[in-house]
Chain A
Amino acid sequence: MNAASPASPLLEVRGLRMHFPVSEGLLGRKVGDVKAVDGIDFTVRRGETLGLVGESGCGKTTTGRCVLRLEKPTAGQIIFDGVDIASLGGKQLQALRQRIQVIFQDPYSSLNPRMTIGQIIAEPMFVHGIEPNATKRMERVHELLTICGLNAGFADRYPHEMSGGQRQRVGIARALAMNPEFIVCDEPVSALDVSIQAQVVNLLEDLREKFGLTYLFIAHDLSVVRHLCQRVAVMYLGHIVEMADSDTLFDNPQHPYTRALLAAVPVPDPDVEQGREFRPVKGEVPSPMNPPSGCVFHPRCPMAVDRCSKEAPQPREIAPGHMVACSEVKITG
């Protein structure tokens, strides 16, 4: 493996598609596909955090599961550190799991209630044979707990004895146990209270700096994404509609869906809110089993013209590093 420069992509996703078959009736006849992810491209550079945002059903979690290879994609390439992992299996896949880890949304259901915190964090090390010596393994558990801001004594406790924020720290410690390079964070702070969210966001940021981690950060809370991610991709109905560095995307959104999404988030300041024009986007997200023709956003889009219902817009770079999939947006730079 070549020593790559810090800015080189660690992960490159090309033409990723994940279709789930839908069957009906006694014979399980296939009646269609849910096109959860329908042809997306993105890269994550070494050491950066890429935010993947969108509403329920947009395909952000499925994308994360494909990258983790918890799903075998229908089509496309997932190039991790130079190797296409989209169709790996067996031993190679297991080796990959040490390098790519995950932090889940729900700190209640993602920790086994019958295991102590110590056993939960030590299990991946045991499974992968990283630390065969039990005493050393426990030392490492204590170290990981401390790194994640928990008292080493928590190793003997059970998940139900801990608060949501503490459990999420355990989830993070478990992900770190493998010394991974890449972590898929799937809504890691959504289930937490506001005052605890900020603690966990800061912890994730500290860990990224300390261990040179790279994150794919999947979330629907746009405010958290703005502060944690260097770059952000917005998904809608299986497609990436816009991608740019974080401040550009939030200050100068171009795709009509991104604009609608940002406009829908109220800001915690009554003065700002009073002065804001507020017209929520109409309608609801269509079914991914039967997506609209052409641009998938066109039935709800305030900018839609005739051709939007006929041709699917191709992603274009409208300014350096700013990609938009909308044929009505002008090129700015």
Chain B
Amino acid sequence: MPALLEIQNLHTEFRTGAGTIHAVDGITYSVNAGETVAIVGESGSGKSVGALSILRLIPDPPGRITQGTVLFGGRDLMTLTEEQMRQVRGSEIGMVFQEPMTSLNPVLTIGRQITETLEQHRGVDRATAQKRAVELVGLVGIADPIRRLKQYPHQLSGGMRQRIMIAIALACDPKLIIADEPTTALDVTIQAQILELMKDLTHRLGIALIIITHNLGVVARYANRVNVMYAGRIVESGPARAIYHTPRHPYTIALLRSVPRLDRPRQARLDPVEGQPPDLTRLDAGCSFRPRCRFAIAACAASRPRLEATSNPGQSAACFRADELASLTGTNEAALAGAPA
């Protein structure tokens, strides 16, 4: 069965006064129907731009998708007209953004924002849309839906607003939802509620989910597969377990080591990734992680390693020494995989 979404060699760049930024520099990955794929990375790694590019939501200028195909249900989204694209957005692919306050319209009631989506995409009448809105708001765990639908975004808490965003994303029975840092702005207990809700709904309704986050705990809990991004590229990709227990890219290894863990006793010092992320306007021909990498060799300066299959089934890494790393970091696996004491 072909994948639900197949992204091939996608490039997005931004032209700025300081030079051209290759925010997304040739990414390739796929999402199967019903599965949850996480895109992990830090600020500027291209994870959000990559997701916005799928929906062609890159402001042009200064941005531009310069290359690549995005196959969704057999169609290349890059070749659709703007009108066809509008039908895909919000109808076939739902979106949940980080900041629910700025993604909801402050002058429309919650109810209107949900029914508008339904009327636009489904062509249903007001009464039907209203009925469906009540259903949706109940589905995302909001008590007293009829009263809530009459309220405005500012009358709701952050967690409540994010539930509304999810209801809007679900309104037209999408096959895929893209969630860009959906819980970053929320407190931990609310974050847990929202993530469990998204997991429950996507499983129950068979919706595929792309979750974009910097939180490695969230990824471990919810993702089936993981793509790790650094400086506009996917540097490692594979099943979640493999990424955490047998990472094959030095950046993934360093990132996992740098995160303090709640289930581990106090340690004297953390093990940070030294140095700074690169300036995206000044990337050279070599591997962009090289200046921070403990395993860099001469070849790393000469050319950029491609994302290639490793000796682990299903796991790919963009590192010349990917398979060597297993022995070079012998203790690493034990340290990372160890169950809590």
Contact = CB atoms under 8 A, between A and B. Distances in A.
Contacts of B276: 163, 165-166, 196
B188 A261 contact: yes
B102 interface: no
Interface string B254-298: 111011111111111111111011000000000000000000000
B299 to A, nearest CB: 24
Given A198-B258, A223-B261, A284-B190, A272 B340 contact: yes
Nearest to B160: A284
Interface residues of B, number: 53
A272 B263 contact: yes
Interface in B220-278: 220-222, 240-241, 244-245, 254-256, 258-274, 276-277
A261 B189 contact: yes
A271 B337 CA distance: 9
Nearest to A164: B43
A267 interface: yes
Contacts of B43: 164, 193
Interface stretch (B74-82, B167-175, B191-199, B303-311): B191-199
Given A195-B273, A265-B188, A270-B244, A280 B261 contact: no
A23 interface: no
A262 B262 contact: yes
A266 B258 contact: no
Interface in A263-288: 263-273, 278, 280-282, 284-285
A224 B244 contact: no
Interface string B201-226: 00000000000001111111110000
A247 B188 contact: no
A199 B274 contact: yes
B340 A193 contact: no
Nearest to B241: A270
B255 A194 contact: yes
Interface string A147-164: 000000000000000011
A73 B265 CA distance: 36
Contact of B217 (A201, A263, A267): A267
Contacts of B240: 270
A263 B219 CA distance: 16
A153 to B, nearest CB: 15
Given A195-B255, A280-B192, A267 B263 contact: yes
B218 A266 contact: yes
A268 B189 contact: no
Given A193-B42, A195-B258, A226-B262, A280 B193 contact: yes
Contacts of A261: 188-189
B187 interface: yes
B339 to A, nearest CB: 7
Contacts of B258: 194-195, 197-198
B159 interface: yes
A55 interface: yes
A56 B259 CA distance: 23
Interface residues of A, number: 46
B265 A247 contact: yes
A234 B256 CA distance: 27
Contact of A268 (B193, B256, B268, B271): B256
Contacts of B273: 195-196, 198-199
A138 to B, nearest CB: 25
A250 interface: yes
Interface string B307-333: 000000000000000000000000000
A40 interface: no
Contacts of A280: 189, 192-193, 196
B157 interface: yes
A99 interface: no
A55 B189 contact: yes
A246 B255 CA distance: 24
Nearest to B262: A223
A19 interface: no
B260 A226 contact: yes
Contacts of B272: 195-199, 201-202
16 contacts: A164-B43, A194-B42, A199-B272, A202-B272, A226-B260, A226-B262, A226-B264, A227-B270, A264-B192, A266-B220, A268-B256, A269-B220, A269-B336, A271-B337, A273-B220, A282-B193
Interface of B: 42-43, 157, 159-160, 187-193, 195-196, 214-222, 240-241, 244-245, 254-256, 258-274, 276-277, 336-337, 339-340
